[in-house]
Amino acid sequence: MTFEDLKLTRQFLNAIEEAGYQHPTEIQEKAIPRILAGQDLVGIAQTGTGKTAAYILPLLQILKFHQGPEPRCLILVPTKELVLQVDKTFEELSKYTDIKRIALYGGIGPKTQIEALIAGVDVIIATPGRFLEIYAKREIAPKKFKHVVIDECDRMMDMGFWPQLREIQEKIPQKKQQLLFSATFPEKVERIADNFLLFPQRIEVSPQSTPAESISQYLYEVPNFRAKLDLLLHFLKNDEQFNRVMVFVRSKEHATGIAKFLEGQGLGEIRMLHSNKGQNARINAIDDFKGGDVRVLVSTDVSSRGIDVVEVSHVINFNIPTHYEDYVHRIGRTGRAFKTGTAISFMDFSEEYHIGKIQKLIKQTIERIPMPEVIKIHETPFDEFQDQMREIDRQKKLENPDYKGAFHEKKQRFDVKKKVDKKGKPKRRKR
Ligand code: AMP
């Protein structure tokens, strides 16, 4: 199928060509005709499938040209990074129209955003929080909204946006076209669809939570934090293959520690993305990473959504996410639309449980690769080992609420200086 077959007009076909899209992706083939026909739609599609253009293109064609001053279309997304990402795709695809848009997100003062609203826009791309904040100042005229998109709905629900979404629905006209996109379709997303959409068509482009086939996934059993650092360094030294790498970590403290360690290793500049970083620092980091000035970006999950980085060579999961859908989102940074990519995960023994759950979710077994022999394994420090055992206890309790937690009674038995086996677990004392 071609974009011409989708009945898009010349100005969009030109913009599509300049964006470098040759053929519509599956979600585009399925969504564009339905949106053009005015239907409500639930699209199950993860990032990397081309879902943003799948709703932007038909909406642009429906909106046709700038009318103003009141906005006619509202696109809601969970994070400011995603607002910026959608805004960029919008800019690219609307270049041959005079349709005006505004990106509304927090972290900066609302003054400039309000000025643009007053000047008149057709489309608002916003996080729910900032939309309501500016709405409360009476700077958004809600009467003309005819199209609403809720993107990454599962993420919105995880982030607790249900009350805000409901509030927004109350403020805008009932009669409108609503489109909902989500990487997965859990019950809470179904609730949104049932409450807000009118006889929606449901389209799905890949089975629920399945990573794109273009991503090769590998798993290393790595006993401890130190060994994970050494393995990470081992990979990053190979700058020919690992030429644009996102390293995902559990927390901003981890991000800072790992970036600091890497900075001392002569790998070039290392940047970080996490919630403590200011808006400008984050945008600069993303731009420099995209531009190729920075090869390695260390990021937490919060910042992982909505960053569109084409041709990331590798995603490295320094830890296994305990929020299992984050695995799919993390590795979705590589192998994006028609490109191949590699996702490598580091797992210590307390994370095996989570890998089991992830494999169940993605309905795949991730290939395990032995640790490279050059990596010298050090003993797991006592505190870290205790944390790992505590985590195992927690998992056992999750599986069996009656489980009493063996670790707390026995923890005294492990001696700091004990010998470790290949996995970094202290060897048992012979009786
Ligand atoms: P998304 O799923 O919206 O996050 O899009 C992922 C990436 O795919 C973005 O970099 C888009 O520019 C790109 N893309 C979207 N549609 C196409 C297409 N038809 N052909 C090639 N790339 C595309």
Lowest mean pLDDT across 2-16, 329-343, 385-399: 329-343
Task: Give the helix ranges, DSSP H, for 205-251.
Answer: 225-236
Q: Which long-range contacts (CB under 8 A, 24 or more apart) does 4-13 make?
A: 6/32, 6/33, 6/57, 7/33, 7/36, 8/32, 8/57, 8/58, 8/61, 9/61, 11/96, 11/97, 12/57, 12/60, 12/61, 12/93, 12/96
Q: Does 257 score more than 60 pLDDT?
A: yes
Expressed in angstroms and rounded, the spacing between residue 18 Cα and the centre of ligand 1 is 13
Q: Give per-residue pLDDT as tens, 74-101.
A: 999 999 989 999 999 999 999 999 999 9
Burial class of residue 373 in the structure, from the number of CB atoms within 10 Å of its CB (0-12 exposed, 13-18 middle, 19+ buried)? exposed
Q: Give per-residue pLDDT as tens, 37-80.
A: 999 999 998 877 889 999 999 999 999 999 978 999 999 999 99
- Residue 412 pLDDT class (50, 70, 90 cuts): very low
Lowest mean pLDDT across 217-221, 222-226, 329-333: 329-333
- Of all protein residues, the one whose alpha carbon is nearest to atom 16 of ligand 1 is 50
pLDDT of the residue at 174: 92
Q: Which long-range contacts (CB under 8 A, 24 or more apart) does 395-404 make?
A: 395/350, 395/353
Q: Does 276 score more than 90 pLDDT?
A: no
- Of all protein residues, the one whose alpha carbon is nearest to atom 21 of ligand 1 is 21
Contacts of 330 (CB under 8 A, 6+ apart): 246, 248, 301, 304, 315, 317, 321, 343
For ligand 1, say whether the CB of 308 is within 6 Å of any of its atoms.
yes
Mutating to test ligand 1, I would choose from 49, 214, 311, 340 the residue with most ligand atoms within 8 A of its C-beta, which is: 49
Expressed in angstroms and rounded, the spacing between residue 33 Cα and the centre of ligand 1 is 18
Q: Which domains does the chain have, with CATH numbers?
A: 4-204 (3.40.50.300), 215-377 (3.40.50.300)
For the chain, the average pLDDT equals 88
Lowest mean pLDDT across 23-37, 53-67, 310-324: 310-324
Mutating to test ligand 1, I would choose from 336, 338, 340 the residue with most ligand atoms within 8 A of its C-beta, which is: 336
Distance of CA 168 to the CA centre of its chain: 24
Q: Give per-residue pLDDT as tens, 357-393.
A: 999 888 899 999 999 999 999 999 999 999 999 999 9
Q: Does 210 score more than 90 pLDDT?
A: no
- Residue 283 pLDDT class (50, 70, 90 cuts): confident
What pTM did the predictor assign?
Answer: 0.61
- Residue 182 pLDDT class (50, 70, 90 cuts): very high
Expressed in angstroms and rounded, the spacing between residue 348 Cα and the centre of ligand 1 is 34
pLDDT of the residue at 207: 52
- Residue 428 pLDDT class (50, 70, 90 cuts): low
Expressed in angstroms and rounded, the spacing between residue 126 Cα and the centre of ligand 1 is 20
For ligand 1, say whether the CB of 85 is within 6 Å of any of its atoms.
no
pLDDT of the residue at 308: 55
For ligand 1, say whether the CB of 47 is within 6 Å of any of its atoms.
yes
Q: Give per-residue pLDDT as tens, 107-141.
A: 899 999 999 999 999 999 999 999 999 999 999 99
Percent of residues, the chain, with pLDDT higher than 70:
88
- Residue 285 pLDDT class (50, 70, 90 cuts): confident
Expressed in angstroms and rounded, the spacing between residue 89 Cα and the centre of ligand 1 is 9
For ligand 1, say whether the CB of 414 is within 6 Å of any of its atoms.
no
Comparison of pLDDT for 280 and 238, the residue scoring more: 238
Q: Does 145 score more than 80 pLDDT?
A: yes
Q: Does 417 score more than 50 pLDDT?
A: no
Comparison of pLDDT for 204 and 100, the residue scoring more: 100
